[in-house]
Structure 1
Amino acid sequence: MTATVERPWVQEMVVVHRVFRRESRNLPDLVAAARVGDTARAVLLAGLAREYIEGLHHHHTAEDELLWPKLLARVDLDAELVLRMEQQHHVVAEGLEEVERRLTAWERTAGAAERDALADALRRHREDLLIHLDEEERHILPLVYEHITVKEWAALGESGMEKTPKDKLLFLLGALLEDATPEETARFLSPLPLPARLLWYTVGKRAYAKRMRKVRTI
């Protein structure tokens, strides 16, 4: 009898990408709608944008360090594809550097010109990001399913958790679960210890919803 090989749950990556897709869509619209001179609103949205940038940076760094080297060693025929993923990471990073510069200028003045320049930079970033996410989901995840072990795949998620400040973990969970299906939600919550799940349902879920209402109310 042939032994069944356990495969990584690659849908996890789709759920993570869903967060970046949603926030990269929302951020330029929220920034563009901010009133001129409303520095409090500018600071609030700049804080959210920086959390988004930090999360995307950690996500791509984990791939660069833990995923691409393993795939390059195991999928010779697809090496060009993997190298293209690395190059796309560089493009996205360069776009985010511009966003960071625009954020600093806008939150200081809340001026119209600074606001509009930031919104444009965020839209350009989203265009670059979607090209990468679409290609990664279409071509890389099947390779991960075939060539990466469950333990190796889990290391990516563990890396992200380790780099997330403890006071941001419930917010991160809220972002992941916002658009998750019931099955996806169960997959994310089931590995958590009971106290962590109780904390999510009693505190984290409401706190996340409250913060998002504040941020997304234009």
Structure 2
Amino acid sequence: MRDDNRPSVWEMVVVHRVFRREFKLAPELIRRVRPGDTERAATLAAFVNEILDGLHLHHEAEDKLLWPPLLDRVVFEVDLVNAMERQHERVAAYIEELRGLLPVWERSAEGGERVADVLDRLHDDLVLHLDQEEERILPLVAEHITKEEWDRLGEYGRAHLSKERLLIQLGALLEDATHWERQAFLDLLPLRARVLWALVGKRHYRKEMGKVRVVG
């Protein structure tokens, strides 16, 4: 049930779903790229970089806007929040490694197995982190973080995303959303954005994902 006076923690669950889905799919897509197929490598490298950007922003917002108030207010959960921060550091190390590997792979379409292996490890560690965050952190957020503080996390991410990619980002969120979640997200948008999504956004998202997820 939605409560407009409390943090909408369900939003983070939907965001996490995107990361789980895409980091699970990406390694196998990369392994299927034929050596020398630089056009396909460029498509996937751009997609993976965009998901890495989203993950980095997501964690950066938490580091700046979520952990400090929780550490200040939840005395008996300091070890838990510190563990979350350490997990963020491990994820950041994977992201840095991939930033070095992806441009090389994109230019040659050689060595994709190494990229895929790092993505596999990122996915496995990230899923453990997201599970723990949803099970133990979000209940604390619901109790100790105000709606205004929570909303700043979403504002932080939107402020740093490319405006040209907002409809694609929306499509990624809505892809596996329940009917209720989908409607709740759309209700947050201004009328113009909802019209754009209906008229061009859905079609554009399907077309782009068709290019990314094609196999063979």
Q: State the TM-score, normalized to the length of structure 1.
A: 0.95
Q: 1:9 & 1:62 partners in 2: Cα distance?
A: 16
Partner of 2:167 in structure 1?
170
Measure, in 1, the Cα distance between the counterparts of 2:4 and 2:71. Answer: 21
Instruction: Indicate the residue corresponding to 1:19 in structure 2.
Output: 18
1:180 pairs, out of 173, 177, 181, with 177
Q: For residues 124-176 of structure 1, give each alpha carbon's deviation from its aligned partner in whole angstroms, at most 9, with x where no partner exists.
A: 11111111111101100000000001111111011111111110110110000
Aligned to 1:119: 116
What's the secondary structure of 2:7's corresponding residue? Answer: coil
1:189 aligns with 2:186: yes
Indicate whether 1:48 and 2:65 are aligned: no
Deviation at 1:5, TM superposition (A): 9.4
Q: Distance in 1 between matches of 2:132 and 2:154?
A: 20
**Residue pairs, 1:50-129, within 5 angstroms:** 50-111=49-110, 114-129=111-126
Amino acid at match of 1:107: E
Give, as a single letter, the amino acid of the residue that structure 1 aligns with 2:137.
I
Structure 1 letter corresponding to 2:163: K
Looking at structure 1, the residues matched to 73 and 163 of structure 2 have their Cα atoms a distance apart, in angstroms, of 35
**Consecutive aligned runs of 4 or more in structure 1 exceeding 2 Å deviation:** none
* Rounded Cα–Cα distance in structure 1 between residues aligned with 2:140 and 2:210: 38
Equivalent-residue separation in structure 1 for 2:4 and 2:120 (angstroms)? 42
User: Alignment RMSD, CA only?
Assistant: 1.2
- From 144, 153, 156, the equivalent of 2:141 is 144
The offset of 1:100, in angstroms, is: 1.6
Unaligned runs of 5+ in 1: none
Provide the rounded CA distance (Å) in 2 between the counterparts of 1:164 and 1:120: 27
Aligned length in residues = 213
Structure-2 separation of matches of 1:168 and 1:84 = 32
Cα displacement (A) at 1:6: 2.7
Match of 1:28 in 2: 27
Letter in 2 for 1:166: K
Distance 1:5 1:130 in 2: 29
The secondary structure found in structure 2 opposite 1:34 is coil
SS in 2 for 1:211: helix
Correspondence 1:204 to 2:201 = yes
Percent identity between matched residues is 54
